[in-house]
Structure 1
Amino acid sequence: MSLIIEPGKSDFIKANVSNSHNDAVAFEVKFAKDLTVAQLKSKLEILTGGCASTMKVQVFKGDTCLSTLDNNNAQLGYYANCDGLRLHVIDTFATFSFDNAPVEKFELTKDQYDQRTDSLRNYLKQNRMGKYNEEEMQQLEEKRRIQAEEVQKRAELCVLGGRCEVTVPGNPTRRGTVRYNGQLEGKSGYFIGVEYDEPLGKNNGSFGGKAYFTCAPNYGGFVSPLSVTVGDFPPEDFNMDDEL
């Protein structure tokens, strides 16, 4: 079975790798798309200290598991696009049994793990990756700080009753009126509630069963302040009567 690479597409993916051992730090690694899952597990064995033969690899987007790479003969590129996602490695050895007797789980104390030279933590330290790369962590923290400031600045411009345009990737630009500015229960960060001029929204001003504002069904939506531009945006005229 050969992998067909689409023109203009990279034949590599970049994915974060984490594991279920003592130190679940995620770090970025590049893999060829034509690797079989078995070959991928062999590489992950070196990185995580797990055993390829008892290894289970799951694909995560944030905290959501999208799939499990359960076909050792399949090539990585045949699975749903893993680029930019996280590969989480689970060593299932502890779940096996011998003569119906459970195998005792192998565990290390923190001090014992710190002294090992073949651990993921030692690998990250030696290669200054993930949280052990002080410069990278500082850059990440600075990026988060700048983004938080921009969110705060944009949110302050979203005055209730103000007109706005909403631009979200994958959706048409929509015009509407700001109806809510604040946090949503169960979600982190700030959100802007918008009553759209057209039924291009997802709700009626409610989220998670709680009403934050009121509008007709499918006329409401909640978006990041970064997606909202406030200004003099009159309602667009969608009257088609005069169209030739």
Structure 2
Amino acid sequence: MAIINETSGYVNVFLSSNVSTFTSQKRFPLSTTIAELKGKLELITGANSSTMQLQLLDRQRKLIQSLDDDTTSLEACHVHNDMIIHVIDSDPSKSLGEFEDLSKVEKYEMPEEEYAKRGESLRAFKEKMKLGRFAERDPESKLKEEEEATKAISIGARCEVTTPKAPPRRGVVMFVGKTHFKEGYWIGVKCDEPLGKNDGSVDGQRYFDCPPKYGLFVKPNSVKVGDYPEETLSDDEEM
């Protein structure tokens, strides 16, 4: 059995528990009372001090004594270095390993917009190095993907447009095809509200008619067609 370093006033013990499969080693002042120890062990083991029972074991896990008197100190209980203090939580609702099941822990998921703003992240590195989903695709393959996407979008269909850094916008599909202003396939949308950028024309070339600021051109993957009711202001909101 190891000898206590009496001049230090501390003792090193191993901790085990009936609600955890883990063991740990901690250092406590010899003056610590059993009541104080139970309070510290709540944070370490997850057991409740009000339903906690402590046993002092040797390294072979043989019972030396039960630590029942909350007023006594570790020194008075003859707790030596490298002994084991086993924590028993008598609460019947507790089970072995319940504090180790990470599937029960609610996880925080950072919004994509907030994560994208972080300069030093795996996403920023991949975007800079053009890796993964940020890798540059073959222009011909990209064009074929866009053409395939347009097959599910027909002129006159109700739709919702979702683009980065902008709220969802609803409207009617007015144009599907290629344009003069940029390569690839584009979808022209007449928005329900003045949340667009044009009147259906770009650089003098007209693709459809709508009031100014109601027209919008976006890529096919930004458009989802479906039963999207027209968004209108209520009577209380009209001006």
TM bin, normalised by shorter chain, reads: 0.3 to 0.5
Report the structure number with the largest CA radius of gyration.
Answer: 2
TM-score computed with the length of structure 1 as normaliser: 0.41
